[in-house]
Amino acid sequence: MTQLRPRPDRYVSFAGIEGDKNSRRLMEMLRVHIDDPHKSNRFWELFKDKLGRCGQPEQNGGRCLDELYLIHACINNIRELLELYDDQPALTLLEQIEAESC
């Protein structure tokens, strides 16, 4: 009989959750779409600017943005874009990030 590994409880601890790694991976998957001029728009161009300032508080008025913050802040926009292009792997990762970290 195999034992199921318990799912981490984000409200108790982030132990066992690879939030930063998953967030960076999702951004790589998202960039495939928003770096395409035919798929981008003003919103995504501004989003890419913010993404470029992640981890650089001196470039962002002293605030230190990270990928997870941007995902949380724009989760509905991200989901809509990924659904539009039927990017199931990215949607699956987005759902995982939302369940574990947002």
> Collapsing DSSP states into helix, strand and coil, what is residue 16?
coil
Structural domains in the chain (count): 1
Which of 8-12, 52-56, 76-80 holds the top average pLDDT?
76-80
61 versus 23: which is more confidently predicted?
A: 23
What residues make up the domain containing 81?
67-102
Q: What is the pLDDT averaged over residues 50-54?
A: 92
Res. 10: pLDDT tops 60: no
Q: What is the pLDDT averaged over residues 28-49?
A: 97
Q: What is the DSSP letter of 18?
A: -
Q: Side chain identity at 37, as an amino acid letter?
A: P
* pLDDT value, residue 77: 98
Asked whether the beta carbons of 99 and 87 are under 8 A apart, the reply is no
Does residue 83 form part of some domain?
yes
How many CA atoms are closer than 13 Å to the CA of 65, on its beta-carbon side? 19
Res. 12: pLDDT tops 80: no
Does residue 18 form part of some domain?
no
Closest CA to 20 of 61, 55, 47: 55
